[in-house]
Structure 1
């Protein structure tokens, strides 16, 4: 049955990866306890990953930051409307946007093109103001994008992204001024169907250097 109980405090790279693995595991089950109700496709995990990652960031970055998850934004100056997975704001200014990917799947051949498109969008968005409505109260609010705005594409696993994913990551770093690409895990997919959740937690390789690079770039 789907639950929102974390397996741990969600404070370290090991914590969030364990929570992601169990989120995948729980997504295979029905939301209700009924022996005559069966689920074929799993529930979506992408929204859960967004919440988990925002929570993880909040526990490792300054307390003055705010984290807006899947919040529609509109910049009239750039004429761009979009839903960033995580927008980090501090005193109404955002200099970092997080785009979370469980994996690129069918889009694995278009990873660099995807990043290049966002590099061009960020070039238009930086230094502009934006508006959004509070997700609960619907109150209209305002914010500003920093002149140093960065777009961080964070991928949960190296697997299912093509054999040349590392080369693409390096190409993004070398050629795109406003975009960074990160890989969080390797060796075992967090949603591997040929192993138990416990086995995945034990055998997955966490790319600690990538976590460190991300946190350094966000600090």
Structure 2
């Protein structure tokens, strides 16, 4: 007790200063620890938030990219379809015009009598070969009867030389083709039960259907390797 009371004020003051310094040092160290820990937790939380936001941005970007890509594909497909439709429409318009002009020219074929007679002979022969009968009748325009008779004579002679047997071909004057017809003949067999329509109008119609693929290739080229084809 005497020793404690013997401490001077300076000694007490020094002891207090030491204790204060110690407490302050501990506080500073604790504060540093808290600061470091806070920085670490902040860095972890920040990294977590950054990853979450980055993932959200990536997801949103991917979504928008897919939407933009799909929109682009739809636009490309729409443009392609419109182009295809325009191409097909232009082609069909050209074909329609072609057959329309051909139809208008049909009536002019019969004006050249020699050429027309040869065409009639071949049309009659084609029907005669197909029917393969002894008696054949031919329907024609009244105005063509004289030319048809000459064509029949030539057809009979050629038939005999090619097939080796006679055929009797006559005009069915009871049922002529209409005067408005462009020409040609209808070849009739089996007592009128079977007929082969070899009129110019029918031959053109067959061209317009059966030969259309070949005409397309001739006019527009081979479409097999093209992107747009019909």
User: TM-score, normalised on structure 2?
Assistant: 0.22
Instruction: Write 1 or 2 for the structure with the bigger share of helix.
Output: 2
**Structure with max Cα Rg:** 2
User: TM-score, normalised on structure 1?
Assistant: 0.23
